[in-house]
Structure 1
Amino acid sequence: MTQQAEFNQGLIDFLQSSPSPAHAVKAMVRQLEQAGYQALNEGDEWQLEPSQGYWTTRGDRSLVAFRLGDKPVAEGGVRMIGAHTDSPCLKVKPKAELLRQGCLQLGVEVYGGVLMHPWFDRDLSLAGQVHFRDETGKLTAALLDVAKPIAIIPSLAIHLNREANKSSEINAQLHLPPILGLATDDHSGDNAKTSPALVFRCLLADWLRDEGHSVGEVVDYDLCFYDTQPPALVGLNQEFISSARLDNLLSCYTGLQALLAADTLATDSPQAATSLLVCNDHEEVGSASAIGAEGPFLESVLRRLGGEEQKYQRMMARSMLISCDNAHAIHPNYADKHDENHGPKINAGPVIKVNANQRYATSSETSALFTSFCDMAKVPYQHFVVRSDMGCGSTIGPIAATKLGVRVVDVGAPQWSMHSIRETAGTQDAWYLAQALQAFISTWDGQ
């Protein structure tokens, strides 16, 4: 198996093991610990050693990992890679149980800019965090992945909506609650344990007990539905990877592999500079939270690294962040949705994203720097600019640039079907991006 094939298999395994942001962070922590990175608690005083790797989390859904260089951070700056752990999905409401027409359903809230139609007729499961009291009354938390298909959102037959292929509006409140099964006598009546208001929490408690947890009472949860179809290599020559959550777990995985690989590839050793990976939750809903990119998580870590204000400012002046978030590949059936000179192609290299209105933080300087990293790694690169008559999405890049005053370039692997329940990217592009990121971490001198 080639290095690229091993890389893609690792990506597939990571996607499969990460049905929620908390699971993605857990999977990344596992790899960091295997590489010798040590855990840090934000509530403790940090004693950091040169050349040692560390990681810390917030809310178990956002992660910062870094390896200190031998060079003082005020002199070498920090080489940063940023991504996000969340993806658009359907989240379960606090009081979710619905009994309608003899069916047990769960009410859901749309998280982020979900492309709704593809969620119908999929085999769905649940994953995320559950907070519960154990049998002694102690409040604790655990990750849950039900793994098996437990729900479905059936489409309405075309016989009952003859205009479905022309125009089919989806009402998130009425049309998206998944069906878990048919209501039974256990789901009604006066028994408190089987009343509709407690059915779901009883199910959660049973699933957690099956995983070895001592559960007295489920108190709350942060759970999302996901498609149980596993990732796959697709195409006559397996040139595509098809999976849920490529936006943006592909970038999380790619950034992590670049960080780990660059540990042994630094070309300016023994004066290696500090390298860092940040993966935030809540990007898909604006990043405004304690664990999102607009919150203080990354800055608080950087200030600990920088020390007193003068050194911190010198460090930031020598730092750069590559914001990695997948880009829109040109769709052969909808080519007119792209600017004719800026239509990135699958398997043609990472995409530099540019927007004059600062929806992306790329500048001509940071774009030129990134192209040099691609040249060093001998990988191709592309540019994306949205059509002038269309709106433009955004990333954590402009947020980081605004909060930190750091140089930022927005890049990403090209993909199709962004924000669908199942997305498609190229089997070469994540590898290309990883090579460029490794060149950045291993060679950039902070100038």
Structure 2
Amino acid sequence: MNQTPALSARATQVAEGLCSYLDASPSPFHAVDTAAALLTEAGFTELAETDATPVDPGRYLVRRGGSLVAWASDVVGERASHTPFRVVGAHTDSPNLRIKPRPDRAHAGWQMLGVEVYGGALTNSWLDRDLGLSGRVAVRDASAPGGVGQRLFRTDDPVLRVSQLAIHLDRSVRTEGLQLNDQQHLAPHWGLGPEPRSFRGWLADLTGVDPQDLLAWDAMTHDLTPARRIGADGELIASGRLDNLATSYAAVRALLEAVSAPSPQPWIPVIVLFDHEEVGSTSERGAQSTFLPAWLERVVLAAGGGREDYLRSLAGSVVASGDMAHATHPNYAERHEPEHPILMNGGPVLKVNANLRYATDSVGAAAFALACEQAGVPMQTFVTRSDLPCGSTVGPTTSALTGATTVDFGAPVLSMHSTREICGTLDQAAYAAALAAFLAPA
């Protein structure tokens, strides 16, 4: 699969779809909004969490901030109340710089903004880039629940930049490496003047509200370089937020393909896109919340089941937790487990860790291997070097909350947590195909 003198039409289509999704999704809120649009266009009905769960089989989705759950059920009768689930999980957030509540600053004749590093960002990659802003605002709205309305915003104007110090003023950078203090060195500038510019006023103008009605914001930076194919043969995709929007997009495509399979299925296919994975998942919409378990139970209850039926459903369910996987870096091959090389465009990656930083066990691994086999794509296996710490995913948390067999997987990527990462073009079609087969096993 890694021999790519010419890319297939399907691989090109999936790659172009992913690039469009990435460009439309600078924040977790936009990622969920874009995913919801793709699903509703295919016949999914969006529900409000405060509404009763429909008793009729169908295709449904619900969102909570930067998180989303979607499912499709065509099972009727007594079995509907305890049908097991097949769940694909991903996350919508990525490391970036987020605007503080009181960000206005002025220093040395520059107007600046206070920011906080979100997640494990490679902070050097945010230097000397044209940055836009996106996210969500909470506004005064007497007609909204609690008097608070929400709206998304984004600007792709290059309003911010974090400028690096010239080498003439820090010769040691060549010998000792770049040393950045998050508080002192990452504040972006966005104008000139002795007095701070009002971020609240600027954001109010952007969103069309009175500054007094702008109550709070979730505002974050994004690099303005669009997603694009790179390499002599277009074998790679370069973009921000590949970790983990590549999996989010593959999950949406997989669900759409799974629901087109012959019915009825012996499983209810589900995707869940969580926010806040990069900072530990502990929030009302993160993987450690009740968001997924509560909605799985509501699906069972709406089908006429009870708590016993819900537990029966979970006992037969399988969860696939998707997050990007480290491809073997050609300049740092010694940092990788030598017996488990990961090739770009080499196929989906099973992720294994004996200390359960990944949730994979032999049963989950077998389920994912069969999905790759059904999809006709190769499978790779990632293990971290024994002398290096291993990252984690939403998998262990989801496994613990549901008690379901869980497997962790990913797609190869380089420069993980950089402002701009790269992945394989062919891998994206194989990724989506494997997840579709997992959601609708033959």
Q: TM-score range by the shorter chain?
A: over 0.9
Report what 1:112 is aligned to. Answer: 119
Cα distance 1:144–1:443, how it changes in 2: closer, same or farther (>3 A)?
A: same
Report what 2:337 is aligned to. Answer: 339
1:285 pairs with 242, 267, 279, which one? 279
Give me the whole-angstrom Cα distance separating, in 2, the residues matched to 1:151 and 1:305.
45
Give me the whole-angstrom Cα distance separating, in 2, the residues matched to 1:139 and 1:283.
26
Letter in 1 for 2:189: I
Query: What are the residue-to-residue correspondences of 1:230-309 with 2, within 5 Å?
Result: 230-266=226-262, 269-307=263-301, 308-309=306-307
- Once the two structures are TM-superposed, the CA of residue 32 in structure 1 deviates from its matched residue by 1.1
Query: What are the residue-to-residue correspondences of 1:115-264 with 2, within 5 Å?
Result: 115-133=122-140, 139-166=148-175, 167-183=177-193, 188=195, 196=196, 199-209=198-208, 217-264=213-260
3-state SS, counterpart of residue 174 of structure 2: coil
Query: What are the residue-to-residue correspondences of 1:47-86 with 2, within 5 Å?
Result: 47-50=54-57, 52-58=58-64, 60-70=65-75, 72-86=79-93
Aligned residues of 1:348 and 1:380 also touching (Cα < 8 A) = yes
Give me the whole-angstrom Cα distance separating, in 1, the residues matched to 2:339 and 2:137.
48
RMSD between aligned residues: 1.7
Give me the whole-angstrom Cα distance separating, in 2, the residues matched to 1:391 and 1:425.
23
Give me the whole-angstrom Cα distance separating, in 2, the residues matched to 1:73 and 1:421.
45
Report what 2:424 is aligned to. Answer: 426
Report what 1:330 is aligned to. Answer: 328
Give me the whole-angstrom Cα distance separating, in 1, the residues matched to 2:327 and 2:185.
30
Report what 1:192 is aligned to. Answer: none
1:319 pairs with 313, 317, 342, which one? 317
Cα deviation 1:180-203 (Å, max 9, x = unaligned): 01126xxx4xxxxxxx4x711110
Number of corresponding residues: 426
- Once the two structures are TM-superposed, the CA of residue 369 in structure 1 deviates from its matched residue by 1.6
Aligned residues of 2:91 and 2:245 also touching (Cα < 8 A) = yes
3-state SS, counterpart of residue 272 of structure 2: strand
Give me the whole-angstrom Cα distance separating, in 2, the residues matched to 1:318 and 1:403.
15
TM-score in terms of structure 1 length: 0.92
- Once the two structures are TM-superposed, the CA of residue 75 in structure 1 deviates from its matched residue by 4.8
Aligned residues of 1:69 and 1:275 also touching (Cα < 8 A) = no
Give me the whole-angstrom Cα distance separating, in 2, the residues matched to 1:418 and 1:283.
14
Letter in 1 for 2:62: T
Q: Which runs of 4+ in 1 moved over 4 A?
A: 134-138, 213-216
Give me the whole-angstrom Cα distance separating, in 2, the residues matched to 1:182 and 1:136.
40
Report what 2:360 is aligned to. Answer: 362
Farther off after superposition, 86-95 or 161-170: 161-170
Give me the whole-angstrom Cα distance separating, in 2, the residues matched to 1:283 and 1:165.
34
1:30 pairs with 11, 34, 37, which one? 37
TM-score in terms of structure 2 length: 0.93
Structure 2 unaligned segments of length 5 or more: list them. 1-7
3-state SS, counterpart of residue 159 of structure 1: helix
3-state SS, counterpart of residue 229 of structure 1: coil
- Once the two structures are TM-superposed, the CA of residue 263 in structure 1 deviates from its matched residue by 1.1
Cα deviation 1:399-429 (Å, max 9, x = unaligned): 0111110011100001000000000000011
Aligned residues of 2:265 and 2:440 also touching (Cα < 8 A) = no
3-state SS, counterpart of residue 137 of structure 2: strand
Cα deviation 1:194-245 (Å, max 9, x = unaligned): xx4x711110111112xxx677532110010110000010000000000000
Give me the whole-angstrom Cα distance separating, in 2, the residues matched to 1:232 and 1:332.
21
3-state SS, counterpart of residue 165 of structure 1: helix
Aligned residues of 2:84 and 2:266 also touching (Cα < 8 A) = no
Give me the whole-angstrom Cα distance separating, in 2, the residues matched to 1:135 and 1:32.
31
3-state SS, counterpart of residue 428 of structure 1: helix
Cα deviation 1:42-70 (Å, max 9, x = unaligned): 222212322x1001111x21100000132
Report what 1:398 is aligned to. Answer: 396
- Once the two structures are TM-superposed, the CA of residue 306 in structure 1 deviates from its matched residue by 2.4
Aligned residues of 1:258 and 1:434 also touching (Cα < 8 A) = yes
Aligned residues of 1:81 and 1:322 also touching (Cα < 8 A) = yes
Letter in 1 for 2:222: Y
- Once the two structures are TM-superposed, the CA of residue 2 in structure 1 deviates from its matched residue by 1.7
- Once the two structures are TM-superposed, the CA of residue 141 in structure 1 deviates from its matched residue by 1.9
Aligned residues of 2:348 and 2:412 also touching (Cα < 8 A) = yes
Give me the whole-angstrom Cα distance separating, in 1, the residues matched to 2:143 and 2:268.
45
2:405 pairs with 407, 410, 423, which one? 407
Letter in 2 for 1:207: L
Cα distance 1:322–1:135, how it changes in 2: closer, same or farther (>3 A)?
A: closer
Farther off after superposition, 329-338 or 39-48: 39-48
Structure 1 unaligned segments of length 5 or more: list them. 189-195
Cα deviation 1:62-101 (Å, max 9, x = unaligned): 1000001326345531111000010011100000011001
Letter in 2 for 1:179: H
Cα distance 1:74–1:406, how it changes in 2: closer, same or farther (>3 A)?
A: farther
Cα deviation 1:17-42 (Å, max 9, x = unaligned): 00000000000111111011112222
Give me the whole-angstrom Cα distance separating, in 1, the residues matched to 2:141 and 2:408.
45
Aligned residues of 1:134 and 1:216 also touching (Cα < 8 A) = no
Give me the whole-angstrom Cα distance separating, in 2, the residues matched to 1:215 and 1:440.
48
Sequence identity, in percent? 42
Aligned residues of 1:134 and 1:215 also touching (Cα < 8 A) = no
